[in-house]
Every structure is written in C-alpha cells, then in structure tokens.
Structure 1
C-alpha cells in the first residue's frame, strides 16, 4: 500500500447560498475543464432560467470563481452583454443567479470539489480530470505526473510515448504508491521497449501487483527478462484478455482484467523456476 492519503476529501469550510451577479464571476481552467464558448452560446440561446440550477463557486481573495456550472454562468454573461439576443424576461431573470459559494478552499480542494461533482455524471473525461488535478496541485495527480514525466510519457497520446488508461495508472498509485508505478514502468520498458502497447494500464497494473506483494522475492531485472520471453506486449495483453474472459465465455470487467494481469505476470515469474516461486491467484474465486 502507498501509505499516502490520495482521497478527494475536502476540509470543513463555510458554504452559503447567495444571489450573485454573473458578470462578477471569473473562470480558472486550473481547477476545471477549459471553457467551451460554443457550448455556452448554445446554452444561452435556449436558456430557461428556472432550469439554470445552482452553479458552484469558490470565494478566493480576489473574486468568485466558477467550480461547477461554468458554461451556465458564461451563458448568462453572454445574455447580459447582449452577445446572445433573448427576451427581456430571460435577461432580467439572469441578472442575479443563486449560487453555492464555498470559502477557504485551496486550489487542490477546488479540483477535488470539481471532480467529485462531475465524477458520477461522466461529464469530465479521465484525461481532463488528470490535467485538472495536476494543475490544481492535487497530490495523487502530481505524484503520478512526476513519475510519468520521469519516464517521458504523455497522457492521452497514442504514440510510443503515450500512456493508455490513465484511470488505471492512477489506481496503481492509489493502491501501491508512486514508487511501485515507477518500478513497473521501468520493468515494462526493459521487457518490451518503448511501444504504444508497453504502457497499457492493465499490464502495468499486473506488474505493480506482483512487485508490491512480493518485494523480497521478485527481482525487477529478472522479471523484465521473464516477461520478454512471453512475447511482445500485444500478445501478452491478449493472453490477459483470454484469461479474464475464460476463453471468451464470460464478460470481463476492470477487476477481472487486473486479476488476469496479476496471474499472467506471476505465472511468467514462476516459469521454469523451482525456488522463489510466488502464489498464483485463482481469478474466478
């Protein structure tokens, strides 16, 4: 286990509901997604004030900043500046809007609040969530980014230097810590070189589980050699998929693929070995 708190918990702080002039609200992409002006204009053109909801703001020292509901707020600004023509009734209705205002939050807290509010709605993709977390200084994302930068890896790229499945990579750091991610990426590169499939999060997750659970037995250099003998990273990942689906006879999920990856890496380590063997999990238990 990492032993580090990577939760999205936010400290107790004042929250109040206040009528706010939308023109006074500012935006900071460090703590949320980038503003899509075309999307905001589409909202403004069809805005129903009673369906506006309650945007969430953070009270910083200099001004109020949108945390959630940025596009709705900007839509109101477009209406009030006359950039989107609407009826007088709609314009009057958005001169002030009810907002949920949070005070005393650090940037990392704002990012946590944004991610929490959007996590279940799937409005924010994992790559955007990662970018926001890094910019806001959230420890989980910063620690992960530091390791990826060390290995010259980019999130969201399909090149040989691109990580596939950032949610899985973040899970590795949450469960095992950044040091294990660092070791796992080194082992994968030593085994298969720098290819787009080397960095697949499920494969890296299997390596991370094995070296985390058996640090006194598994030697990274030897494990890399063992994995290399299994074939290229594509065939190794195919083996994981076949195992996870029990030869395509059952559906697989993320947990099933990770268990299968654990099995595949452990089996590779045990191959032709009489001593220093490690337990092989039963993934269908």
Structure 2
C-alpha cells in the first residue's frame, strides 16, 4: 500500500503525445474505436476536459482517465497539442485502479433530455435544428411523452442527423397515421420511420405509407416485427426489423419500379 502522504497532485499542460496507456493493465483500459470515432465527429478542443494522469517512477505519464479523447487529440491536433491534466505522483497500481474506478463509476448518467437542453444552451447546430423542426409540427421536445410533447429525444437526434427536414416528415407521417397521441411518438417507431423515409426520400408515396401504417396501432406493428428477435439490444437495433416490416407491407402488389428499398442502415 502506497504511503498516501507521499502522493503529490498538480495541474499541468502536457503534450498529448507524451500521455501513455499501459498495455499491461486489464480490460478496463481496452480501446473502444467506436467511442473514439464518436468523439472525433464532435471534436472541439475548446471544451476538452482535464485528463487524469499518473507520473510514474520512470518519468512517463500514464493516463488514468481520458484515453479516448487523448487519442482523438493526437489525431486531430497532433502530438504537441497541450492538454490540461491533473497529475498524480507516487501512486501504486491499487491507487491508480481506484482513481480509474472513481472517474468512471461516480459520474451520474445524464438523461437524454437534460443532455438535449444543454446542447440547446450551447447552440449545438443539430440540437437547435431538431428543436426548430419539432416546433414546426406544433410539438415540443420534452422529458416525457404526451400528445403534444415528444420524449423520444435520442430518436429525434438520430433522425435529425440523417438529413435536414427528415424530423418533420417522420412526425407528420406518424400523426397522420395514428393521430396526435402519446403512442404515436414511440422511440422505436420514430426511428423505423426515419430509416424508411430517409432511404426512400425521392420515391416514397406518403399517402400510401400513411394508409399502410393505419392498418394497425403502433404496438401491433412493433409486436409483429420484433417478436422473433432475441431479448436485449437498443432502440436503434430494434428499429431496423420494424423498418423492414413497414417496407414489406408498403410494397404489397407494387411493381418493382415503385417498391421501397429494404437495404436499410439504422
């Protein structure tokens, strides 16, 4: 056990090229490319938070928290880019592990709507556009769902990211099919409609699509499309078979030139 009285802490601005990850540490340090790619897409060096670093006896700096964002910083800004760090000295492996767990365990998950509100305050372009497009339909983004409020925030953001104008198309289609009702703004259904409309933007007959959807309430559509799926998975993965089910129903008795495509990427 390390003598805690010998532990030193200081803030330093360090070149990201000098921040290392110990390859001998366990699975909690596995690099997740998908998370790094997400950080790269929203990269903004002005809001990069402080990394937590251990300066070891060999004089090298090892990351305790901030591995993925540091990798993105190296890629985007170069190895000489200075990152603010909280540097610990004289830690042993146990204390490094405790700091890692604290950094990741003690963060309270941010609810999607709270995240959305913060994005609006920060003038995030996507969130601002999605909010405007929802309002154009006489609705509002909210923490919970009601006839006039859409609580499927993650679905709205995912749909909005596909293309401008898709959010109102999806909401208007859902309303025309099932009315202005809380069940119309189902997260999985909105995602599925987003996939169908996005993939068939220039060829879809909205009148036919609405009539197709009106044949059953949202719950029945979801039940028929998802009953064969194994349990688990998020809304995004579960929306894909639902989108395929909608396309199959829409295409009934249509010629090949009028059919919607089924090669969908959620």
Structure 1 and Structure 2 fold alike (TM over 0.5): yes
1:162 maps onto 2:149 in alignment: yes
3-state DSSP of counterpart to 2:261: coil
Partner of 1:181 in structure 2? 167
Do the aligned residues in 2 keep the contact of 1:127 with 1:156 (CA within 8 Å)?
yes
1:129 maps onto 2:115 in alignment: yes
Please provide the CA RMSD for this pair: 3.4
1:191 maps onto 2:177 in alignment: yes
* Residues 274 and 126 of structure 1: CA distance in aligned 2, closer, same or farther (over 3 Å): same
1:153 maps onto 2:135 in alignment: no
Do the aligned residues in 2 keep the contact of 1:240 with 1:260 (CA within 8 Å)?
yes
Q: Give, in angstroms, the shift of residue 235 of structure 1.
A: 1.8
Q: How far apart, in 2, do the equivalents of 1:253 and 1:221 lie?
A: 30
1:271 maps onto 2:252 in alignment: yes
* Residues 280 and 145 of structure 1: CA distance in aligned 2, closer, same or farther (over 3 Å): same
Higher relative contact order (CA 8 A, sep 6+): 1
Structure-2-length-normalised TM-score? 0.57
Partner of 2:219 in structure 1? 234
3-state DSSP of counterpart to 1:178: coil
Which residue of 186, 195, 206 corresponds with 1:200?
186
4+ aligned runs moved over 4 Å, structure 1:
11-17
Deviations 1:62-108 (A, max 9, x none): xxxxxxxxxxxxxxxxxxxxxxxxxxxxxxxxxxxxx979xxxxxxx
Q: Give, in angstroms, the shift of residue 278 of structure 1.
A: 2.5
Deviations 1:160-180 (A, max 9, x none): 122232112211112x12311
Partner of 1:10 in structure 2? 44
Do the aligned residues in 1 keep the contact of 2:145 with 2:185 (CA within 8 Å)?
no
Structure-1-length-normalised TM-score? 0.53
